[in-house]
């Protein structure tokens, strides 16, 4: 997302600033604990960490510009303004304006941001409003092994959820419009779109599959549609199975076929929240995370996790996996804290290498794909006996919003790897306090231009104006810029941002953050009403 802007900034930095001595040292300090990649190519034992770094990281991406080898003298410090520009390039914020049938929405606004470590970035995020039912949806999608799956899931999942929630009558209208070739009822309004759809032809295939889905829902003859929990549960699994079936079916168009293959053979974890009035549902598959920031009556802040990470450190997941596979495999399901020794999360979309039988994989790939050009990991992990090992079934949590629930943070694991839940709540709370403090007080605004100028200059001198307006940006800033003691280190921040493209992934992961603020007044009034 920010690569073009940062390229521009780097270039100007390169032209003007002298080399920072010791830039190299700054990286090496963090190198040891940060080498991480969700997919591991050669899972043969403990030495693989190094292997991974040199093969997966540098060698594969040599073709990119601004690799570390070409640009030895590239470690130039960025000025604070340049740091801000890089960090803020991916910012977006949105205020929820509408009154839902006269009642103020329970969501005030949201702020989001993204910082890439992979080029192109593999995270996606999206926010959309369901137009045929009430409710706002927020999602974070963390891709691995390419961005294709994350892109597809981010574009499509909300449609599945929205359709699942529709009443029988709405579905009938949709089907009717489709049959008579009339324009469809609008399903979603994107408040933050995950990105431009690249292939128009593919979108029409997707629409066809969505239609098959709603036709099946129609056949269930449920007047009111599914409840939210079921809707989320079905949508995740339905989309994943569509992704898997699309490539098994013979597709005419080569581009659609290649794209579907890339989607199926890459993966994405997903975490999404659905907010309708006081009803908050969170569905999670994988290691993205959602937490609530709660302010108790005594003013103390605490955090309420709404998801559990689906990875090797989660005992429930371990026992689920053991339950689903024969006892002979209990030692090999999780090796080296990875599913079959290869994958970090143990729930995800896509990744058919861990879902299909070997025979199916072979028969699909033998249909003559140029797997190298498509950048597909073509291998079977060892101990691959009883697929599927991986599922996209989400864990759905329900939470009834209370006036003390102030905000929701959804983020990819790039954030949670470096910041704990409490840190995140603390940072957002600090952010809220600062934003309040730093806004010039409009009620007592200086009356004339001169006074206003001196106030503004004062604020500038104190560095107040430089604070982030966007909580997500602040979280990312601290995630990559704070040292072992949680203190902000500007040199480190600048060093992390000037990492050459091929090295960036070894020191940090893609980070996507969405912070949703709730309207306590409207939530409170709904309690009084009931």
Partner 1 sequence: MFYRLLSVVRRPRSSQGWQKWSSARSGASAAKAHSVALPAQAQVVICGGGIMGTSVAYHLSKMGWKDIVLLEQGRLAAGSTRFCAGILSTARHLTIEQKMADYSNKLYHQLEQETGIHTGYIRTGSIFLAQTQDRLISLKRINSRLNVIGIPSEIISPKKVAELHPLLNVHDLVGAMHVPEDAVVSSADVALALASAASQNGVQIYDRTSILHVMVRKGQVTGVETDKGQIQCHYFVNCAGQWAYELGLSNEEPVSIPLHACEHFYLLTRPWETPLQSNAPTIVDADGRIYIRNWQGGILSGGFEKNPKPIFTEGKNQLEIQNLQEDWDHFEPLLSSLLRRMPELETLEIMKLVNCPETFTPDMRCIMGESPSVRGYFVLVGMNSAGLSFGGGAGRYLAEWMVHGYPSESVWELDLKRFGALQSSRTFLRHRVMEVMPLLYDLKVPRWDFQTGRQLRTSPLYDRLDAQGARWMEKHGFERPKYFVPPDKDLLALEQSKTFYKPDWFEIVESEVKCCKEAVCVIDMSSFTKFEITSTGDQALEILQYLFSNDLDVPVGHIVHTGMLNEGGGYENDCSIARLSKRSFFMISPTDQQVHCWAWLKKYMPEDSNLILEDVTWKYTALNLIGPRAVDVLSELSYAPMTPDHFPSLFCKEMSVGYANGIRVMSMTHTGEPGFMLYIPIEYALHVYNEVMSVGQKYGIRNAGYYALRSLRIEKFFAFWGQDLNTLTTPLECGRESRVKLDKGMDFIGRDALLQQKQNGVYKRLTMFILDDHDTDLDLWPWWGEPIYRNGQYVGKTTSSAYGYTLERHVCLGFVHNFSEDTGEEQVVTADFINRGEYEIDIAGHRFQAKAKLYPVTSLFTHKRRKDDVELSDLHGK
Would you tell me which residues interact with partner 1 (CB under 8 A)?
1, 4-5, 7-8, 11-12, 15-16, 63, 65, 81, 85, 89, 92, 94, 97, 183, 189-193, 195-196, 438, 440, 445-450, 452-453, 456-457, 459-460, 464-465
Q: What DSSP designation does 417 have?
A: T
Residue whose CB is less far from partner 1, 4 or 28:
4
Maximum pairwise Cα distance, the chain: 80
Burial class (CB in 10 A: 0-12, 13-18, 19+), 351: buried
User: Whole-number minimum distance, CB 98 to partner 1, in Å?
Assistant: 10
Residue whose CB is less far from partner 1, 200 or 331:
200
User: Whole-number minimum distance, CB 128 to partner 1, in Å?
Assistant: 10
User: Whole-number minimum distance, CB 134 to partner 1, in Å?
Assistant: 17
Look at residues 317, 228, 340 and name the one whose alpha carbon lies nearest to residue 277. Answer: 228
Residue whose CB is less far from partner 1, 116 or 376:
116
User: Whole-number minimum distance, CB 4 to partner 1, in Å?
Assistant: 5
Tokens of residue 261, six digits: 């293959």
Tokens of residue 383, six digits: 């101990």
Q: State yes or no: cis peptide before 388, omega within 30 of 0.
A: yes
| CA dihedral (43, 49, 51, 53) positive or negative | positive
User: Whole-number minimum distance, CB 459 to partner 1, in Å?
Assistant: 6
Beta bridge partners of residue 289, listed in sequence order: 411
3-state secondary structure of 437: helix
Residue whose CB is less far from partner 1, 189 or 357:
189
Residue whose CB is less far from partner 1, 136 or 233:
136
User: Whole-number minimum distance, CB 454 to partner 1, in Å?
Assistant: 9
Count of Cβ atoms closer than 10 Å to residue 522 Cβ:
20
Residue whose CB is less far from partner 1, 91 or 413:
91
Q: Give me the DSSP letters along 355-396.
A: TS-HHHHHHHHTTT--TTTTT------SS--S----B-PPEE
Alpha carbon distance, N-terminus to C-terminus of the chain: 45
Query: Distance (Å, rounded) from C-alpha 319 to C-alpha 349?
Result: 21
User: Whole-number minimum distance, CB 2 to partner 1, in Å?
Assistant: 9
3-state secondary structure of 350: strand
Contact 530, 513 (CB under 8 A): no
Tell me how many degrees the CA angle 358-287-6 measures, rounded to the nearest 5: 105
User: Whole-number minimum distance, CB 344 to partner 1, in Å?
Assistant: 28
Cβ neighbors of 80 (< 8 A, separation 6 or more) are: 466, 490
User: Whole-number minimum distance, CB 69 to partner 1, in Å?
Assistant: 12
Residue whose CB is less far from partner 1, 4 or 32:
4
Residue whose CB is less far from partner 1, 30 or 158:
158
Q: What DSSP designation does 481 have?
A: H
User: Whole-number minimum distance, CB 213 to partner 1, in Å?
Assistant: 23
Burial class (CB in 10 A: 0-12, 13-18, 19+), 450: exposed
Query: Distance (Å, rounded) from C-alpha 410 to C-alpha 416?
Result: 10
Residue whose CB is less far from partner 1, 196 or 223:
196
User: Whole-number minimum distance, CB 520 to partner 1, in Å?
Assistant: 21
User: Whole-number minimum distance, CB 442 to partner 1, in Å?
Assistant: 8
Residue whose CB is less far from partner 1, 47 or 447:
447
Contact 421, 304 (CB under 8 A): no
Query: Distance (Å, rounded) from C-alpha 288 to C-alpha 310?
Result: 9
Query: Distance (Å, rounded) from C-alpha 513 to C-alpha 84?
Result: 17
Tell me the angle at which helices 471-481 and 490-497 cross, rounded to the nearest 10 degrees: 100
Residue whose CB is less far from partner 1, 298 or 448:
448
Residue whose CB is less far from partner 1, 92 or 167:
92
């Amino acid at each position: 997302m920010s690569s073009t802007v940062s390229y521009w900034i780097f270039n100007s930095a390169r032209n003007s600033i002298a080399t920072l001595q010791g830039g190299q040292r700054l990286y090496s300090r963090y190198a040891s604990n940060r080498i991480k990649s969700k997919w591991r190519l050669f899972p043969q034992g403990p030495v693989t960490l190094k292997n991974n770094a040199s093969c997966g990281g540098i060698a594969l991406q040599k073709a990119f510009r601004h690799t570390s080898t070409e640009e030895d003298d590239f470690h130039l410090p960025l000025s604070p303004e340049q740091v801000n520009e890089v960090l803020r390039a991916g910012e977006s914020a949105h205020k929820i304006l509408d009154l839902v049938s006269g009642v103020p929405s329970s969501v005030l606004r949201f702020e989001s941001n993204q910082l890439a470590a992979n080029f192109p970035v593999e995270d996606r995020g999206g926010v959309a409003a369901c137009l045929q039912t009430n409710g706002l949806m927020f999602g974070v999608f963390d891709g691995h092994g390419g961005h294709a799956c994350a892109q597809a899931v981010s574009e499509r999942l909300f449609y599945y959820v929205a359709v699942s929630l529709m009443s029988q009558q709405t579905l009938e209208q949709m089907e009717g419009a489709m049959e008579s070739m009339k324009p469809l009822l609008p399903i979603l309004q994107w408040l933050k779109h995950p990105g431009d759809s690249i292939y128009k032809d593919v979108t029409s295939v997707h629409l066809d599959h969505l239609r098959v889905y709603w036709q099946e829902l129609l056949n269930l003859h449920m007047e009111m549609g599914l409840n939210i929990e079921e809707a989320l549960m079905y949508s995740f699994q339905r989309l994943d199975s569509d992704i898997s079936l699309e490539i098994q079916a013979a597709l005419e168009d080569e581009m659609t076929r290649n794209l579907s293959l890339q989607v199926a053979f890459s993966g994405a974890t997903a975490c999404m929240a659905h907010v309708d009035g006081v009803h908050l549902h969170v569905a999670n598959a994988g290691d993205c995370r959602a937490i609530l920031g709660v302010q108790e009556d005594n003013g103390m802040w605490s955090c309420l996790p709404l998801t559990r990470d689906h990875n090797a450190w989660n005992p429930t997941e371990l026992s689920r996996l053991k339950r689903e596979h024969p006892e002979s495999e209990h030692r090999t399901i999780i090796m080296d804290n990875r599913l079959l020794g290869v994958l970090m999360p143990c729930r995800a979309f896509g990744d058919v290498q861990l879902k299909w039988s070997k025979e199916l994989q072979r028969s699909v790939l033998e249909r003559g794909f140029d797997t190298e050009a498509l950048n597909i990991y073509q291998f079977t992990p060892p101990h691959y006996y009883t697929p599927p090992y991986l599922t996209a079934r989400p864990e759905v949590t329900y939470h009834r919003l209370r006036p003390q629930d102030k905000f929701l943070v959804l983020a990819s694991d790039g954030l949670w790897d470096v910041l704990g839940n409490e840190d995140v709540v603390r940072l957002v709370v600090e952010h809220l306090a600062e934003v309040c403090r730093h806004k010039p007080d409009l009620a007592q605004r200086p009356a004339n231009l001169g006074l206003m100028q001196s106030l503004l200059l004062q604020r500038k001198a104190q560095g107040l104006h430089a604070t982030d307006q966007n909580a997500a940006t602040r979280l990312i800033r601290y995630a990559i810029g704070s040292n072992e003691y949680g203190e902000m280190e500007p040199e480190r921040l600048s060093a992390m941002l000037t990492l050459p493209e091929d090295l960036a992934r070894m020191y940090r992961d893609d980070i996507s953050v969405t912070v949703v603020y709730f309207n306590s007044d409207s939530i409170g009034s709904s309690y009084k009403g009931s």
